[in-house]
Structure 1
Amino acid sequence: MLVDFLKDKEFAGGIRPTVYVKSYTHSSKKMDVIIIKNDKNTPYYLTNNCKGIRANHIYTRIQDVNSARDRSADLNKVEYLWKKRFGLTSSPLERLELYLEDYNNWIDGPNGEMQKYYKYFPEFTIEYMSVKDGRDGYEYYLFSQTDSSPHWYDIQFKYHQTLLKELLGVTLDGGRYFTPCPEIAGITLDKTKNYNWDFSYRYFTKGTFKYKLNEFFYLQESFSEEYSRMGFFEVVLLFESENERMEFEKFVRRNWYKRDMYLNNVYMPHIPNLPNYKEGVFIEEYENALVLNKMLSEFRNNQN
């Protein structure tokens, strides 16, 4: 009902606050709590009068005091809300993360696409270059591509000349698809007997800096690497949240005995035995990744 109520109201720019209700139980009493997400789309205001709320007026609540209905909030409070929308109240790294979502307004530098700057605040730059340590090793997810040759890069994020962050990246499929390297985690099947991982997996979580960067590089190149990306995410897990990942690991521990069943009707690429690697290690990791993605689909179906 709350969502429907807000949907019908004429908010400026069609941007509405995210509101939902969550139920809690305390001392045998059930409480419904209205939650308004604290996001960066402030200020919210109406373009038409509604039940005493005036059009184009910006209201605030400071501690336990609301703005009067017949006038907007104090100027300094309104200025703060606009600064919040434009990321001007955030740290440089937080602003960079916000600007990554505006992928259309990043411009290639004079040395080509491996150096980019943000159009409206060119002091924010992204640059990637071949790794300094000269690594040329393989990861199992490289074999999801037609060309599995590894090409590793250091990705640097700068504000003016200050290095804000550095990540490891990789180009896949002969340079068609560029992405930050996924996170790594592992699963211990019997926590009472073994504190080491029985197997590992690679993943991204939506909303994180790494996943936003993954989307940034994909969208920046006008979807030219669609098939490379599809192959990549067939063997790299993508979670909605960290909580979903934790619950999924519990599901895997309960159901891993069905691993061979999940392997039915899966496509396995040719994975060669490479010098200096344990024989079959990439095949096992690749199979596990395919199994985990199938299990993730089943896990989500069970939640519905």
Structure 2
Amino acid sequence: MNIADLEDEIISLVDSQREDDYWDFKQCYHKNKADLLHDIICMANNRSNHDGYIIFGIQDKTFNIIGVEKDELKKNQQNIIDFLKSKSFSNDTRPKINLVTLNIYQHSVDVLIVYNTLETPYYLTKDYKDNNRTVRANYIYTRVGDTNTDIDKSADSNHVEYLWKKRFGIHLTPFEKLRYILSKKNKWKVTENFSYYIQNPEYTLVRNIDDNCRCSSEFYAYNMTDTNVIYGTISVNYFGTKLYDNQTVSLDGGRYITVIPEWGTISQDKYHRNTDFFKYFVKDDISYDLHRYLINMDSYEAVYAYKKFMEVVLLFENNYEKKCFIMYVESNLDLFENIISSNKDNYNYLDIESPEKEQVIRRLKVAKALKEMQLKFYDANRSKNEER
């Protein structure tokens, strides 16, 4: 999530005038460090399957934004990381955090993001005490609704059971678990065309060459050193049931393999008669998970080809961001065309016959222009939020 989206979400949560499973408002930073630790553990073990937010600079009861710019107890991210590292957590597994400062309505609001993981439950193996407050060893704390488990109690057994199920992925559907385990590439046993997840070998991944593909050449292949393309297929199965399949493309002479990205369009007129095409991935889609899984980070040539690929393929956080970006470009078509025109590369080195060559050149230039427009889009959103 980018800063603009996070700001929008935090403003929405403040406007709700309430707290809930994954967000907790604080007028200022904690005076007692045991209370801080307790709040972080509760949020790390929250049951909402969402990143937790401890939001500093919001007034008690009124929910007015007062900021933390005058808070003498204010901490930075390294302070909190060092604090957590010094505590005795089970299996040395600590909550993962990120502290972000937002400018909202001329106030600095700190958001301590406590990331949602499958490593629950988080708990201490040694007591931690600050004055009269003690976070107990082997007590499991959680957050249900707007209420944390009391510091002198352990969570109810049904909540503890859920957190252990989460640790082993039992609470996930097979498709949800697939998306999670694709991020654990080092836990897959990989052969040339067949792989399985070591901890759950019922998850398998099969790749094949597609000799029957009659696709037109992918324009991004011409941003590579070697423009040859080999098409293939990839399928991911669970106990023999196909959970997902898609086409793949092998680029730069086989050095780099990826799932084929989606097509997007920019319309030059309201009737969509004059349209430019681009390729993209969305981060919250499984296609992007597999795209990341297939990158061979141990190969310099593969990484270089990947970077050339991403020079002309767009990446969005979600479909809503994609929709907003397309609207932004279509509202600034003169700027879009000026950026394309400023690209003086005539691509004479491309060994393609016309008119395909003109089409490939246009798409390469469009892709690079959209990459530049995306930076302007983010800057515009950031400026709007700073004006609030």
Matched, 1:177 2:259: no
TM-score, normalised with respect to structure 1: 0.81
Please tell me the residue identity of whatever aligns with 2:219. Answer: Y
Cα pair distance change 1:95/1:132, threshold 3 Å: farther
Aligned partners of 2:94, 2:116: CA distance in 1, in Å?
A: 17
| Aligned match of 1:28 | none
Matched, 1:226 2:308: no
| Aligned match of 2:361 | 283
- 2:95 corresponds, among 15, 36, 44, to 15
Please tell me the residue identity of whatever aligns with 1:131. Answer: D
| Aligned match of 1:90 | 172
CA deviation digits over 1:102-137, x for unaligned, max 9?
1111112xxx32111111111111111022633353
- 1:160 corresponds, among 226, 236, 239, to 239
Aligned residues: 293
Q: Percent of counterpart pairs with the same letter?
A: 32
TM-score, normalised with respect to structure 2: 0.65
| Aligned match of 2:161 | 79
Between 248-257 and 42-51, report the one with greater CA deviation: 42-51
- State the 1:165 CA deviation: 0.8
Report 1:36-55 matches (<5 A): 39-46=117-124, 48-49=127-128, 51-55=133-137
- 1:120 corresponds, among 199, 207, 214, to 199
Report 1:284-299 matches (<5 A): 284-299=362-377
- State the 1:262 CA deviation: 4.3
Between 36-45 and 221-230, report the one with greater CA deviation: 36-45
CA contact (8 A) 1:103 1:219 kept: no
Q: What runs of 5+ residues in structure 1 fail to find an aligned partner?
A: 26-31
Please tell me the residue identity of whatever aligns with 1:94. Answer: E
CA contact (8 A) 2:235 2:242 kept: yes
CA contact (8 A) 1:115 1:126 kept: yes
Q: What runs of 5+ residues in structure 2 fail to find an aligned partner?
A: 1-28, 30-55, 57-74, 383-388
Cα pair distance change 1:219/1:134, threshold 3 Å: closer
- Secondary structure of the corresponding residue to residue 225 of structure 1: helix
CA contact (8 A) 1:124 1:157 kept: yes
CA contact (8 A) 1:106 1:117 kept: yes
Please tell me the residue identity of whatever aligns with 2:324. Answer: E
- Secondary structure of the corresponding residue to residue 196 of structure 2: strand
Matched, 1:206 2:286: no
Aligned partners of 2:311, 2:200: CA distance in 1, in Å?
A: 36
With CA pairs under 8 Å and 6+ residues apart, which has the higher RCO, 1 or 2?
Answer: 2
| Aligned match of 1:189 | 268
- State the 1:202 CA deviation: 0.4
CA contact (8 A) 2:343 2:365 kept: no
Aligned partners of 1:255, 1:220: CA distance in 2, in Å?
A: 37
- State the 1:49 CA deviation: 2.3
CA deviation digits over 1:1-25, x for unaligned, max 9?
5485854653632324668799999
Cα pair distance change 1:294/1:68, threshold 3 Å: closer
Matched, 1:243 2:320: yes
- State the 1:90 CA deviation: 0.7
